[in-house]
Amino acid sequence: MDFLINESQLRIILQEQDKSNMSDNMKELYSFTSNLIGRAKKNYGLNLQLLLTWGASVGGLVMPLDNFIKTGRFELTEPQTTLILIGVACTYFYENTKTLKLIYDKIKEEGIQETFKEVLIKAKNLKESFGRFLISANITLGSTMELMAYSFLIPIISDIQEVSYSGDNVGLAAVTIAKRLLASGVIIVSRIALTDVIRHIIKKLK
């Protein structure tokens, strides 16, 4: 049996959802990226502050890879893990070829090229899976960089899915979720574009 809820009940559910993961996740992703950049500067003298432009989006892609490394069979020091994650982040979010070469050279010096390749393949698979998911939701993005700009959504898909089961008011849910995410102050996409993307995702997940 299906149970429909009214608009005020949906607002309450969205507010409760916001109190759980959805609002804090963006700041956590940004903080993760900021800390990663700080460690790269401390351990390897790399100045990558420009990555913070993509802060939460970088975290959306790289934070799952950090967990992949920590739970895997890898034997890396913390600085080496930082170097690999920075290497992945810069591969997708940084256009300075000189900086990329410097990072790759440091990875070679550490003797962790094969591990880096494995983590980079994992990142590619994650990116492509996310891209296929967006395509299946009828979301058209013009470039790989535009796709990567939305990678902050990767860790909260399950939260959006939970909201999608809560009622039929897709428009209200999309607007509210977008508003909550943008309120974090660490999202670089526009309100209109984000709302439209989330609306399509909710329709896909319902």
| pLDDT tens-digit readout, 61-114 | 999 999 999 988 888 999 999 999 999 999 999 878 899 999 999 999 999 999
Q: Which stretches of the chain are assigned E, i.e. beta strand? A: none
Q: Across all residues in the chain, what is the average pLDDT?
A: 86
Domain parsing of the chain, residue ranges: 7-205
Listed in sequence order, the residues at least 6 apart from 195 whose beta carbon sits closer than 8 Å to its beta carbon are 174, 175, 178
Burial class of residue 70 (count of CB atoms within 10 Å of its CB; 0-12, 13-18, 19+): exposed
Q: Is the pLDDT of residue 14 over 90?
A: no
pLDDT digits (tens, 9 = 90+) for 1-13: 333 434 454 454 4
- pLDDT at position 92 is 92
pTM for the whole structure: 0.85
Q: Is the pLDDT of residue 171 over 90?
A: no
Q: Is the pLDDT of residue 54 over 70?
A: yes
Q: What does the angle CA 188 – CA 191 – CA 193 come to, to the nearest 5 degrees?
A: 90
- pLDDT at position 60 is 94
